[in-house]
Structure 1
Amino acid sequence: MLKLRSPRLRFFAVEVFCLVDCGHQEPTGFDPVILLAGQDICLSFTMMFGMNPSPSHSADADEPARSPSGPRTFLSEVVVSLIAPAALVFLLVIATWMQQGFVAGIRCGMDLIQPVGLIWLGLLALATHAVRQWRRGTVSGFKPIAWLVGFVLWGIVGNPGFANWASSQVESPLVSEPHPALEQRSLDRPLDAVVVLGGGSSAIAPGFYELGRDGERVISAAQAYHAKATRAIIVTGSSTDGYEPPWKQSTQLLLSLGVPEEVIFRIEGVNTRAEMKSLKQLMDSPPAQWKDRWTEESMESGEPQVGLITSAFHIPRAMRLASNASLDLIPLPCAFRAKNNPRPWLASSLVPGAGSLDDVGKMFKETVAKMAGQ
């Protein structure tokens, strides 16, 4: 059905419609013939232009109001919400550039567009949008506060400074006396063995292994052997997925570092508790090949001196489990996360990163394990 487009025709139709009222009432002073003619005109207009035969309704009144700029309004909201994150990126990159140089500024920008950085900026954008909604009265004040809290918390847990502090609260403290590196200590006698807990390497392909961030465990053991600080190395760890157990990976890596196979001994264990249980059995019934390498003092006492090499954050829990298994081990922490190097404040240190999140996650795990009595 056609719609009435011209304002003048629409006005004329309404006037006629009101004049004759389409036969609902009979105004006084009009000839019936004129009324009938008016009714015909009114009905013609209603049929041609889709008007309701009632003066209280019109086609325009029934149509919902349309927003001619819906997509444009949404786009403008997105643009405005991104102003705060964009300003933060600009300030951090410029500040880093001024403090550390152009390359560091580019690196800061790249860190900001990594997944962790993008989540951080996204939370700020959502907080900005929620604040605008709150000012318009469309949402409660809880929504912008929630997004702002999320932005702040994500920035904290992913912050390298916070990760460094959390690591310092959990890790075995770094001491200068004796020297933290076993191979650089002045020992009265070498250790009879060092235990290398699994977890410092990964299997890239069958028979091809690489050291990870905690690979210092394997390196420290090899250094200690070559410095004659230990006479044997015990590698640990079983596979939970049936693929390349940690003891096998550590063995191959030690061999590649020049450690003879006859001084490497292997024990199983799917976790630290199981590894300590296996170590207890080994020390209670040591194989002759290992016992022949003990020092004279250990042979006389029947108690070998054994050091425990693992990551610094893992040492406290490993030593607790060793004590529970009635093992007297010498802690040899390595792969420290907490850095004791005072540095000036840098703008780039505000940017959260995946490495910091990983460190905080490990410290949280160790804290929960301690609370659980492990």
Structure 2
Amino acid sequence: MMFLLSKTLGVLIIPPGIFLVLLLLSIFLLIKKRKKLATFLLSLTAFLLYLLSTEVGKNFILLPLENSYPYPDLNRINCEAIVVLGGGEIPHSPAENFWASVDPKVSKRLYEAFKLWRKVKKPIVVSGGSVFRSAESEAVAMKRFLTTLGVPSEFVIEEGKSRNTLENAIFTGELLHRNGIEKICLVTSAFHMPRSVRIFEAAGFNVIPVPSDYRVYRTPYSWYSFMPMPSYLRDSLWGVREYVGILYFELLQKERLLKWRAREDSNLQPTD
């Protein structure tokens, strides 16, 4: 119930849901003859939609997130396991024989994990469950992707219960902590890394960030940078979602995770 409630509230307060709320509120205000306030809300909505749909707006949102952790030298990394976070799937894709296939951003994370695995030859935990519609967990599709690239199946550990980043950390912790694994290479999208590191560190992991799926164009702006594009809006919305997610974790989820970690640590203590 809490999961569905958080998802529903998230849809309403994070763009584009908040834009629909503002538009409906503006219509209500117009009906109530509050023309000035309605005009202000409509103008604000239009401005935010335009700004977030441009490269300039996208970079303003995403650059601080993507620059939080530098891309590491893969030749110098030393970790006990690689953890790759899911981020969406395409259920029953014809290209995957009617089974789920991974979202494009997840495929970039998996390829980054594959590059890293070739260097360190450590177990890879693929973390992602089935949120609503898929017949199989995202972890199954992620494992299939990695084995297709050439990773032996015995190196890939499925964590197929998690529905969000907090659960990624909890269920991965249950798999790895019992085997004494604490130092992990965490692979996810660069814009998702700040929130993910916070959560996994709170779950008791020593995290080495390995960002992937960079979205910011690191080139000079041109006139085209000020043109609204659907892809820029999509990337901006992902960024806004991360800022809200970080705030949500710090205010409402962190204490829960620390309590789970304390219970987990006590369960791992040797008994006389």
TM over 0.5: yes
1:217 alignment partner, one of 109, 125, 143: 109
1:257 alignment partner, one of 117, 126, 149: 149
- Contact 1:172-1:315 within 8 A present in 2 as well: no
- CA distance in structure 2 between the partners assigned to 1:368 and 1:326 by the alignment: 23
1:191 alignment partner, one of 67, 74, 79: 79
Amino acid at match of 1:260: P
Does 1 or 2 have the higher relative contact order (CA < 8 Å, sep 6+)?
2
Please give the residue correspondences for 1:1-374 in structure 2 after superposition, counting only pairs within 5 Å: 149-173=44-68, 175=70, 178-179=72-73, 182=74, 185-187=75-77, 190-199=78-87, 201-203=89-91, 204-205=93-94, 206-207=98-99, 209-226=101-118, 228-243=119-134, 244-267=136-159, 268-286=161-179, 303=181, 305-341=183-219, 343-346=220-223, 348-372=224-248, 373=250, 374=253
| TM-superposition CA deviations, 1:77-118 (whole Å, max 9, x none) | xxxxxxxxxxxxxxxxxxxxxxxxxxxxxxxxxxxxxxxxxx
Aligned CA distance change for structure 1 residues 198 and 144 (closer, same or farther; 3 Å): closer
Structure 2: gaps of 5 or more residues: 1-34, 254-272
- CA distance in structure 2 between the partners assigned to 1:262 and 1:194 by the alignment: 14
Aligned CA distance change for structure 1 residues 207 and 358 (closer, same or farther; 3 Å): same
Aligned CA distance change for structure 1 residues 259 and 146 (closer, same or farther; 3 Å): closer
| TM-superposition CA deviations, 1:161-205 (whole Å, max 9, x none) | 1101210123353536x43xx3xx334xx4332001111643324
Q: Which residue of 1 aligns with 2:17?
A: none
1:155 Cα shift? Answer: 1.8
Equivalent position SS for 1:329: strand
- Contact 1:194-1:230 within 8 A present in 2 as well: no
- CA distance in structure 2 between the partners assigned to 1:275 and 1:144 by the alignment: 43
- CA distance in structure 1 between the partners assigned to 2:128 and 2:46 by the alignment: 39
| TM-superposition CA deviations, 1:238-272 (whole Å, max 9, x none) | 10225221101101101110111011111131211
Amino acid at match of 1:186: R
Aligned CA distance change for structure 1 residues 163 and 263 (closer, same or farther; 3 Å): same
Aligned CA distance change for structure 1 residues 276 and 345 (closer, same or farther; 3 Å): same
- CA distance in structure 1 between the partners assigned to 2:79 and 2:149 by the alignment: 19
Aligned CA distance change for structure 1 residues 148 and 317 (closer, same or farther; 3 Å): closer
More helix by share: 2
1:282 Cα shift? Answer: 1.5
Report the TM-score, using the length of structure 2 for normalisation.
0.68
| TM-superposition CA deviations, 1:45-103 (whole Å, max 9, x none) | xxxxxxxxxxxxxxxxxxxxxxxxxxxxxxxxxxxxxxxxxxxxxxxxxxxxxxxxxxx
- CA distance in structure 2 between the partners assigned to 1:307 and 1:151 by the alignment: 41
- Contact 1:194-1:234 within 8 A present in 2 as well: yes
- CA distance in structure 1 between the partners assigned to 2:41 and 2:174 by the alignment: 53
Cα RMSD for the two superposed structures: 2.8
- CA distance in structure 2 between the partners assigned to 1:279 and 1:370 by the alignment: 20
1:369 Cα shift? Answer: 1.8
**How many aligned residue pairs are there?**
212
Q: Which residue of 2 aligns with 1:100?
A: none
Structure 1: gaps of 5 or more residues: 1-139, 287-301
| TM-superposition CA deviations, 1:322-368 (whole Å, max 9, x none) | 12212222111111122323x2522x222211111111211111111
- CA distance in structure 1 between the partners assigned to 2:234 and 2:86 by the alignment: 18
Report the TM-score, using the length of structure 1 for normalisation.
0.51
1:314 Cα shift? Answer: 1.2
